[in-house]
Amino acid sequence: MAINLEKTRNMGFIAHIDAGKTSVSECVLFYTGRTHKAGTIDDGNTVLDWMAQERERGVTIVSAATSCEWNGYDINIIDTPGHVDFTAEVERSLRVLDGAVVVLDSVAGVQPQSETVWRQANKYNVPRMVFINKMDKIGANFDYAIQTTIDRLSANPVPIQMPIGAEDKFEGVIDLVEQKAIYYKIGDDQGHIDKVTDIPEDLKDKAEEYRSNLIEKVAENDEEFLEIVFSGEEFDAQTFKDAIRRVTISNAIIPVMCGTALKRKAVQPMLDAIGDYLPSPLDVPAVTGKVYRGETDETRKADSKEPFAALAFKTVSDPYIGRLIYFRVYSGSIDAGAGVLNTITGKKERMGRIVKMHADDREEIKSVSAGDIAAAVGLKDTSTGHTICDESKPIILEQITFPEPVVAVSVEPKMKSDKDKLQEALLKMADEDPTFKVSYNDETAETLISGMGEFHLEIMVDRMKRELNVECNTGKPQVAYRETITSPANAEGKFIRQSGGRGQYGHCVIEVEPQKSGSGFEFVDSIKGGAIPREYIPAVRKGIIEGLNSGNLLGYPVVDIKVNLVDGSFHDVDSSEVAFTIAGSMAVKAAIKKGSPVALEPIMKIEVTTPGDFLGEVIGDLNRRRGMVSETSTQSDTQIIKGSVPLGESFGYANTLRSLTQGRASFSMEFEKYEELPKSILKGKMEEQGN
């Protein structure tokens, strides 16, 4: 098993939308013999983009898992979406992967969503390599793409290959480790290697410069290799590869390769590099979790002899076999049909069938062990982020955190008779996607769905129609505002009821103060001398949290607030948990009113790429939308505008930009922060609601 684990790679492709992740993945499947023909996005026959919506729109929506073999390595691949609205798919994939290949466009370099996925990879400390794709594209510039990773990501990229030519003259790559040139046949789109030669004379100086830089960067970060270089010993390619592998796994350097997935050039060397440089499950630190119902930490090694522990990272409703739970096994092994404990719900479950996924195809297997990724049928109460483990050695692995939704729309079934069907479909979707939330507004009797953006919600409604046969009408997009306070305040909540027999009595005094943006809710218990008995304090906290669910201004949740419970009183007979919960809610609502409340709106980071002729119109339109332009830069004959714009002003921006620039501009947008909503707009919103 240990030998097998050394040869296992759990890796993913991550990138900005349109950098070519799916094309790269399709090439990998073709070369590893998983498919007989590499699918293309233009033909709509990709394996990993298997959903109808993905093939129609040419974008990845859900992460797809598959596995293949290359040169004796077992590679588990997850192809992730590049669109910011599907950021949850990237988040959950990176949580369970050991390594990643970041795909960059050779012309654009690092784009906004590349920055987002890079930050997510940093968060989970995932070792990664960069593949600069589209070297055959007009304007391809290998050095520029590398420079953008330094400028925009503060990364330490080190080329282990250099291109031979660029644009339509792109012929192949020079391997700086093995010191050889790999040429591909001109005009052949199947990626057949034409010849492997020594480095040509006209490229020797450039290659030597790149190789010296590579040796220097590796030696800087690896003492063992530094000693070899200092001693002046000759070293072979394997010694060099081992050193590059160590510094890649420690995240000290980022190896950089290049090629073109569409023309199938230089994809095989990248596959070799996945085996040579990305970590196996044995190379990454042992996973740490909390002891079940305890506070101490416990580690689990990637070993099939350890107790079984796995993390569920994705839920899919399969029309034929029901709920499929994708999971990564961190330790131990499990057989199909065995019992497991879900340490988040505390429930015992049965594994049922275990399947290896290949996009939307399934291959049944009898058991799965440490370091592997599979899916299970039959786990009824397990969801994304839950730990499933051996009942006798329970552990809770760190859960996955997801961003909060920022856009909401109301939905209603087209046919009144479909009301129950719609509710069922919405719950299924919410189970699959942690950033898709369903709520019910009692005042307007509307069902609201919330997500990461207009595109996200549009796809969800489309999926309900196609996959679950539920048609619905949607309202206009609404912004998910938040509320907070700007000054400290105090208040008390007193709930007293006397109505024959036993009454109700709960009384608490709280102080509230604003917290810095993004720090969330904090509760402090400062009760002295038993003013409120200990058993009622959780009830007060619960009431405070309930009270924060809707603010005084627009009825949105109150965030970034610290609540200090300082005093209160109780009644020997009449006090109860319910009374203290209500008192807590009353107190916090009164305190918020006194704390100079303000409304907050989501601000989106925006990057627009436009031909220079339309720069004035695009900036003028952003200003009309209360946008702020932070910088503009020129790249060949296009202008790149960076800035921010309130989400509420960005609806329908795609259509406006199209008409302003004759369809020649493109943009990307992602959530940045919450900022105070201007008073004049808040007043208008409150009048709309009749407040």
For residue 358, give the CATH number of its domain.
2.40.30.10
Residues 260 and 272 in one domain: yes
Residues 468 and 541 in one domain: no
Average pLDDT over residues 32-57: 51
In total, the chain counts a number of residues equal to: 691
Residues 149 and 8 in one domain: yes
Residues 81 and 25 in one domain: yes
Residues 364 and 459 in one domain: no
Question: In this structure, are strands 472-474 and 407-413 parallel, antiparallel, or unpaired?
Answer: antiparallel
Residues 672 and 581 in one domain: no
Average pLDDT over residues 287-303: 85
Q: What percent of the chain has pLDDT over 90?
A: 36
- Domain assignment present for residue 28? The answer is yes
Q: What pLDDT score was predicted for residue 41? A: 45
d(CA 263, CA 152): 28
Instruction: Name the token pair of 576.
Output: 């109860």
Q: What pLDDT score was predicted for residue 37? A: 53
Report yes or no: 526 and 564 within 8 Å, Cβ to Cβ.
yes
- Domain assignment present for residue 234? The answer is no
Q: Is the pLDDT of residue 50 over 90?
A: no
In whole angstroms, how far apart are CA 286 and each of 222, 289, 398? Answer: 22, 10, 13
pLDDT in tens, 249-259: 999 999 999 99
Residues 6+ apart with CB under 8 A from 234: none
In whole angstroms, how far apart are CA 224 and each of 190, 212, 410? Answer: 41, 17, 61
- Domain assignment present for residue 232? The answer is no
Average pLDDT over residues 575-583: 93
Average pLDDT over residues 647-658: 86
- Domain assignment present for residue 217? The answer is no
66 CA to centre of own chain: 19
For residue 411, give its domain range: 407-480
Q: What pLDDT score was predicted for residue 90? A: 76
- Domain assignment present for residue 193? The answer is no
For residue 60, give the CATH number of its domain.
3.40.50.300
Band the pLDDT of 565: cuts 50, 70, 90: very high
Residues 459 and 389 in one domain: no
Q: What pLDDT score was predicted for residue 67? A: 81
pLDDT in tens, 409-440: 888 888 888 888 888 888 888 888 888 888 88
Band the pLDDT of 471: cuts 50, 70, 90: confident
Q: Which of 430, 450, 480 is the last residue of a domain?
A: 480
Q: Is the pLDDT of residue 517 over 90?
A: no
List helix spans (H) across 222-360. 223-231, 237-249, 267-277
Q: Which of 571, 595, 619 is the last residue of a domain?
A: 595
240 or 431, which is more confident?
240
Residues 424 and 377 in one domain: no
60 or 683, which is more confident?
683
d(CA 658, CA 176): 44
Q: What pLDDT score was predicted for residue 54? A: 43
Q: Is the pLDDT of residue 42 over 50?
A: no
Band the pLDDT of 501: cuts 50, 70, 90: low
Q: List the Cα angle 36/267/200 in 5-degree steps.
A: 130
96 three-class SS: helix
With b for 16 or more beta-carbon neighbours within 10 A and e for fewer, the 642-677 pattern comes to ebbbbbbbbbebeebbeebbeeebbbbbbbeebeeb
Q: What pLDDT score was predicted for residue 48? A: 44
d(CA 544, CA 581): 7
Q: What pLDDT score was predicted for residue 452? A: 80
Q: Is the pLDDT of residue 45 over 50?
A: no
Q: Which of 480, 502, 523 is the last residue of a domain?
A: 480
Residues 159 and 108 in one domain: yes
Question: In this structure, are strands 254-258 and 128-133 parallel, antiparallel, or unpaired?
Answer: parallel
For residue 526, give the CATH number of its domain.
3.30.230.10
119-128, 299-308, 402-411: lowest mean pLDDT where? 402-411
Q: What pLDDT score was predicted for residue 424? A: 85
Band the pLDDT of 55: cuts 50, 70, 90: very low
pTM of the model: 0.74
Average pLDDT over residues 209-219: 93
Q: What pLDDT score was predicted for residue 360? A: 58
Q: What pLDDT score was predicted for residue 62? A: 52
Instruction: Name the token pair of 539.
Output: 């009830």
- Domain assignment present for residue 211? The answer is no
pLDDT in tens, 318-370: 767 778 888 999 999 999 889 999 998 899 999 888 988 775 577 888 889 88
For residue 641, give the CATH number of its domain.
3.30.70.240
- Domain assignment present for residue 219? The answer is no
- Domain assignment present for residue 203? The answer is no
Residues 364 and 385 in one domain: yes
Band the pLDDT of 243: cuts 50, 70, 90: very high
Q: List the Cα angle 582/585/589 in 5-degree steps.
A: 140
Residues 459 and 412 in one domain: yes
Residues 99 and 28 in one domain: yes
Q: Is the pLDDT of residue 84 over 60?
A: no
569 or 669, which is more confident?
569
539 or 381, which is more confident?
539
Q: How many domains does the chain have?
A: 5
Residue type, position 150, single letter? I
